[in-house]
Amino acid sequence: MKTRLFLVAVVGLMTLGTHAALAQRPLGDSRVIATVPAPGFPEGIAIRGNRAYVSGPATFGIFTPSAVWAYDVRTGALVDTFPITLQDPSPAVMKAISADNFGPDGNLYTTEPFMGVVLRLHLEPGNTQDVYAGPFPAPGGPGSSLLNDVVFDGAGNLYVTDSFQATIFRVPPGGGAPVVWFTDPRLAGDPGLPFGVNGIRIDKNDKQLYVSVTAETGTLDGVIYRLPLVASPTAADLEEFHRYPFPDPAPGAVPGPDGIAFGKSGKLYVALAGTSQISVLRPDGSEETRYSGPAANPGGSPDPMPWANPANIAFRNQEGTLLVTNHASLIFPPDPSLFSVFDVFVDDKGQPVP
């Protein structure tokens, strides 16, 4: 009995010590984790063990092959680079990969918007790749489609946002032909900033699907919507969860929500690319707070690192932090020193994905 009580006491002290260590960082404290090599413009980020897998570039006008960069999140060291091998080798064809997510099979899934496909990447070992789904329909012809983010539901269906077509596609388990799952004018981007439906995630109960609209047509508002995860949702099912009005009180004016992620707390974390902030939404849709950086960057340059158009976010559970890609896409001319990954202490863990 004494041994048992002793072990209980030790575990309790260790738990208290862990919480105390995490609490030493104030909420919103931010630090640079890693720098991203040329051509930069990091977009997607997904965590597996002690590695962060960062995808890019995700912008227009890049004609060199894309890649996934793997970083040790403990040291920030670049430990591996996985070139995308399926893109058109022609130097006249633009290339990009956008947001990414691990699937239930352990592979990394990402969109290639200029090919109009979803790629499946078995990175380790061997970096084998194939086209999981697509080409996706683009009735308006080249330039009318921009595949963006991906998420799996508990049944193995893959949902894909198309920022230029105001559409969410669904791909059946195992891959194959995509079908339109939901489309609505409210998911469209404004002609002056044509990025509509963008980030996508599913709640912990596998019942509701949430999406961000970066710049609503006619208003430039950013909007988070949700839909029931049913076979064929209707327009009446689309529910506004939160609205970020334009102009925004913060510098930068256009909020521009991009990537989203659920915490274990039930809060929804939203990367505001336009105002270079992270917004935290309560389960009722109200905004709890915003974090704004910059990120400490001792030994690097610049120090501190300004948050510049954060694109996507993923949780590092051991530290209670978010890892965020510093996309720096709205800086003209581009500043390569800003292409990085930073963390933000939020004292939360990620919600397990289906």
Q: How many CB atoms lie within 10 A of CB 83?
A: 12
Q: What is the pLDDT of residue 241?
A: 98
Q: Residue 16 — very low, low, confident or very high, per pLDDT cuts 50/70/90? A: very low
Q: What is the pLDDT of residue 1?
A: 39
Q: What is the pLDDT of residue 249?
A: 76
d(CA 232, CA 318): 38
Q: Residue 13 — very low, low, confident or very high, per pLDDT cuts 50/70/90? A: very low
Nearest to 310 by CA among 166, 242, 189, 212: 212
Conformation bin of residue 72: beta by default, left when phi > 0, alpha when psi is -120 to 50: beta
Q: What is the pLDDT of residue 304?
A: 98
Q: Which residues pair with 227 in a beta bridge?
A: 209
Q: In this structure, is the dihedral angle defined by the CA atoms of residues 202, 45, 130 and 77, taken in order, positive or negative?
A: negative
Q: Residue 44 — very low, low, confident or very high, per pLDDT cuts 50/70/90? A: very high
Q: What is the pLDDT of residue 124?
A: 86
pLDDT digits (tens, 9 = 90+) for 287-321: 999 999 999 999 999 999 999 999 999 999 999 99
| Class of domain 28-345 as given by CATH | mainly beta
pLDDT digits (tens, 9 = 90+) for 93-115: 999 999 999 999 999 999 999 99
Q: What is the pLDDT of residue 139?
A: 92
For the cut 70, the answer to whether the pLDDT of residue 17 exceeds it is no
Q: What is the pLDDT of residue 75?
A: 95
**Peptide bond between residue 294 and the one before it cis (omega within 30 degrees of 0):** yes
User: And the tokens for 84?
Assistant: 């995308």
Residue reference for tokens 């510098």 = 251
> Across all residues in the chain, what is the average pLDDT?
92
Burial of 26 (0-12, 13-18, 19+ CB in 10 A): exposed
Domain boundaries, the chain: 28-345
pLDDT digits (tens, 9 = 90+) for 212-244: 999 999 999 999 999 999 999 999 999 999 999
Q: What is the pLDDT of residue 331?
A: 86
Q: What is the pLDDT of residue 353?
A: 66
Q: What is the pLDDT of residue 23?
A: 52
Q: Quick check: helix, strand or coil at residue 4?
A: helix
For the cut 90, the answer to whether the pLDDT of residue 15 exceeds it is no
Q: What is the pLDDT of residue 142?
A: 84
Q: What is the pLDDT of residue 251?
A: 66
Q: What is the pLDDT of residue 352?
A: 80
Q: What is the pLDDT of residue 290?
A: 96
Output helix, strand, coil percentages for the chain, rounded to the nearest 5. 10, 40, 50
Looking at per-residue confidence, does 337 or 248 come out higher? Answer: 337
pLDDT digits (tens, 9 = 90+) for 246-263: 988 776 679 999 999 999
Dihedral of the alpha carbons of 86, 90, 92, 95, in degrees to the nearest 10: 20
Beta strands 158-162 and 147-152, pairing class = antiparallel
